[in-house]
Structure 1
């Protein structure tokens, strides 16, 4: 059973194995610095479907299918799947999971959803309720733009602090059986809100939540940044990453050597015109599954913290002038020796 070590912080009694993983991305993501890392690059933004929302569901199904094949499993071997996305009522996940006869937990943590899914799936696996569990998230540039900003045909100019929603999906299968790396701990995030109302500055809104979660986990586990190869944030982007380092430095915590941000890594801001970097549920999920988990499997690194971050606004809250509450959930992944 998972062991509580502080409020919202736990360690698994028996390491939960990462059995397999997969990342599927769109054409722009495939053209970025990490393009060769992903399992599949899809050039058609509609993925053969009639709508972008249907395409996003297919991205999820493709990622789960690839991960299952890698693990030599079928959907019948999954006891539960935790999935989420950015579309209203998480229809990207609901419509993809209706294709699979698997017990389903739909989650919404915005861009923090992959870490949230892995937290829940790892606890269910650790306590014996699941032999095999999956976590999957997705995002799509066109579904997010249509929902949160303007119609694509509007041609609105993006601000310097804006991030580019990734068209991507990542899936991880956890097991009590075998794997090359394990989830050994986690931290459930707390809401942080600095009264930022600019939807085009989500990195600044999310940075305080990431700082709070990372510092809580380091304190509860009596560890320092030097104990980890990388401390990975989901998608703070260039502006949010700098703010995160500043906030933690004021607390006497220097993670500058270990910090990597998936949103800052997935695109080349100059050649791809993505301003502050990538965002979206699929951003952290695809970079985790395409870059960091393979590094653990190849024995290039041995211990990482993955702290995905999410901005928990909705179109309605933005229209009402509300500020942006943010959250960051964290999992500790360690290479099995």
Structure 2
């Protein structure tokens, strides 16, 4: 059966179910507006009993997958494949975090859009009959990301108001052919979009054009209007990127202001937590989806949402060589069963 829809989308003939979602976050995230929804909140120092920031981030993935498996009622040996990624060079948080499950993996990199990429590929695997149970997991850690992309924490550099705060968190979902209360009915794979912006401390502006492109293409490919979704949820545009996204879509003839929600805005209290433009990182959309968005779909409070994690595709090398910061956004349509 033909499953391709429009230019960039897939509409699944057999929509895979999301059997469970689980999340672990750091202390700062636990003190935010969504704190009561997370499954586990780590210790104050952010090391979670480990010796380095990178090992701490690996713990986030290991704990998230373990909790998601327990919620789904399956054992780790039943997992066919794990789709995983993070922000660190060579995806070391994923490699060391997932290694102990002894499960085949695909390592992914979509920057902060990685949870959208993981859910997209996991849903294709289940829908295509390539796995009874598969997992999608991502993570980020404030300290490991600062070390990887910016400055050592001890440097004490000042952050501009356009900057976002990397979420310390890991989120995982288990997908299967049936048995869940929410299912992935379609995906819209994003393109790399580059408006030539070079400010790595304003990633919301860098990613907003890609979010606009993917949301617009999703509406075109599925012949939908914004009101056909209860929510259109971006990953981590923050307050700056949200304004740009709304303006760009209005230029294309769509007003999503009533439906739009951004994980980076929801996860922190801007006034009391000093997070400037909001949250970011692979873990931002992952933990918000697993802890807050998925339960609303399972309960039927929302019938259909478009989940659009967004990523800024830069590295220390590209930034220091004066390159721009391209963006990408991966669209996932999730519906109540």
TM-score range, shorter chain: over 0.9
Alpha-carbon distance between aligned partners in 1 of 2:305 and 2:54, rounded to the nearest angstrom: 33
Following superposition, the deviation at residue 2 of structure 1 comes to 7.1
The TM-score, its normalising length taken from structure 2, stands at 0.99
- 4+ long deviations beyond 4 Å: none
Alignment of 1:199-210 (within 5 A): 199-210=200-211
C-alpha contact (below 8 Å) 1:237/1:261 kept by paired residues: yes
Alignment of 1:159-198 (within 5 A): 159-198=160-199
Following superposition, the deviation at residue 97 of structure 1 comes to 1.4
C-alpha contact (below 8 Å) 2:6/2:220 kept by paired residues: no
C-alpha contact (below 8 Å) 2:196/2:324 kept by paired residues: yes
Cα 1:173–1:320 shift into 2, 3 Å:
same
Counterpart for residue 28 of structure 1 = 28
Q: Does 1:51 align with 2:52?
A: yes
SS in 2 for 1:13: coil
Task: Map Cα deviations across residues 231-275 of structure 1 (whole Å, 9 max, x no partner).
Answer: 000000000011000000111101000000000110011100000
Counterpart for residue 333 of structure 2 = 332
Following superposition, the deviation at residue 47 of structure 1 comes to 0.7
C-alpha contact (below 8 Å) 1:311/1:325 kept by paired residues: yes
Q: Does 1:72 align with 2:69?
A: no
Following superposition, the deviation at residue 8 of structure 1 comes to 2.1
Alignment of 1:1-337 (within 5 A): 3-43=3-43, 44-336=45-337
C-alpha contact (below 8 Å) 2:8/2:217 kept by paired residues: no
SS in 1 for 2:100: coil
5+ residue gaps in structure 1? none
Cα 1:87–1:302 shift into 2, 3 Å:
same
Task: Map Cα deviations across residues 150-209 of structure 1 (whole Å, 9 max, x no partner).
Answer: 110000000010000000011000001310000000011001111111110000000000
SS in 2 for 1:23: strand
RMSD between superposed Cα atoms in Å: 0.8
Alpha-carbon distance between aligned partners in 2 of 1:290 and 1:21, rounded to the nearest angstrom: 7
5+ residue gaps in structure 2? none
Alpha-carbon distance between aligned partners in 1 of 2:328 and 2:201, rounded to the nearest angstrom: 17
The TM-score, its normalising length taken from structure 1, stands at 0.99
C-alpha contact (below 8 Å) 2:21/2:171 kept by paired residues: yes
